[in-house]
Every structure is written in structure tokens, then in C-alpha cells.
Homo-oligomer: A and B are copies of this chain.
């Protein structure tokens, strides 16, 4: 038994698509977060109530199983469901469906609550979570780790955190880490490969003006290509990711 579902239709806009006319992963992440934010607002556990309680949600990890990315102009339905929680984490799923109700992208996420003044993880209280009606589970989930970067075969590109990377939550928008990770793979690769799986794990947030390095390595396998990524600032790990790709 999992918790309440919430869903919303979304028509894919041209500025949400890359040059292959498919929705970008960063934009899908943005739309997903919007949908779960709306559910929270509806259950009176939105940004306002969280701020009043001195708390905020942060994302710890996303994994994506991608049958195909939504296409330009396509209307998708983005569904979210609070799955379960323990004292530290909540687990929430998202599914993007096509108009025939077929799942296109299935996403598992892990959230944690943070105390906004102490900037530390906060215990997830019953009051905070009850309206979602997800079951409490004692045990922590084991989530898959992104395959690590092969340091000996790695390349990297530097990025500076820009003003527009920061959203109305006053943090670097989560989707920007995915942009920084994916971009160095380059146009030739990205126009000839489709993502089938993504695993993005956040460690330490980056701040405005910081210089980050997007480090990556590429592993060619028989059936697919696996790319491994690290976003680092001053040698500190900010985010790790793995993407699996099939040739188009």
C-alpha cells in the first residue's frame, strides 16, 4: 500500500525540447517537481507550510527508466505518488504517461527534510507526512549507486554557476546539475543517442558564482553506452550521475 496519487497533464513546449524534438531530461525534472509541489500545496504541506515550520525538502536521488522521452507538442500526464517514508527519507514515484496511458518514463526519488536554519537534515515527523497517507517503514531503502567515473579515462569541462541557475527556492535548480553533466557529452553524441536510464545522486549543493567541474567517462558496451559523471567544486563532490544510452 502506497500513498495518495496526484496527476497533471502537460503539453510539451518547443523550449522544453532539444534539437531532436524530444523533451530534455532537465525540463522533465522541472515539470515533475512542479506536480509534486502542487500535490503538497493541495495537502497543505506546500512551500508555505514548510517554511512556517522552518523546514524544506531536498532531493537526494532520482532514478529514471525511460521507454522514450516525451515529444514536442505531445500531451503527457505526469503522475506522482508518495510511496513510503522512514525517519530520514521519503520515497516518491513519478510516471509520465502518453495519451494512451502507456508509461513513457518511470522515476523513483528520495527526498529528505532539512532544517533551514541549521542547514541540517531534519527528522521527518508524522505531522509533516500524514496527509500523503504513505506507510511508515522502519528500514531504509537501498537505492542503486551511479556507476563511478573512470578517473583514468575521464574528461571534464568547467562551468560557473549563473544567476539564472538559481530558482525561486534560492538554490541552484536540481535540473541544472543534470544539464552540467549531460552537456559535455557534446552535440554529436547527444543527437545520435537516446537515454534509457538515469541515476542522479546529490551530495553537497553548489552556490552562486562557484566554479564547478563536470567530469565524465564513457563506457561502450555491446548493447549500450554507459556514461558516468561527477559534478565537483574545489575537489568536493556535489553530484554523481550515471546515464545509459542506446544508439538511434
Q: Assess A37 versus B14: contact at CB under 8 Å? Given A163-B186, A164-B26, A209-B187.
A: yes
**In the bound complex, how far is the Cα of B18 from the Cα of A53, in angstroms?**
23
* Contact call B14/A168, Cβ cutoff below 8 A: yes
- Report the minimal beta-carbon distance from A64 to chain B, rounded to whole angstroms: 17
In the complex, the chain B residue whose C-beta lies closest to that of A157 is: B160
**In the bound complex, how far is the Cα of B16 from the Cα of A33, in angstroms?**
12
What total of chain A residues lie within 8 Å of the partner, measured CB to CB?
Answer: 34
Q: Does A65 lie at the interface of the complex (its beta carbon under 8 Å from any beta carbon of B)? A: no
Within 8 A of B (CB), among A1-45: 13-15, 17-21, 24, 26, 30, 33-34, 37
Q: Copy number of this protein in the oligomer?
A: 2
Residues of B within 8 A of A208 (CB): 187
* Contact call B173/A15, Cβ cutoff below 8 A: yes
Using a CB–CB distance below 8 Å, which chain A residues touch chain B?
13-15, 17-21, 24, 26, 30, 33-34, 37, 72, 162-164, 166-170, 173, 175, 179, 182-183, 185-187, 190, 208-209
Q: A13-B30, A14-B168 are in contact. List 4 more A-B contacts (CB 8 A).
A: A15-B34, A17-B167, A19-B167, A163-B190
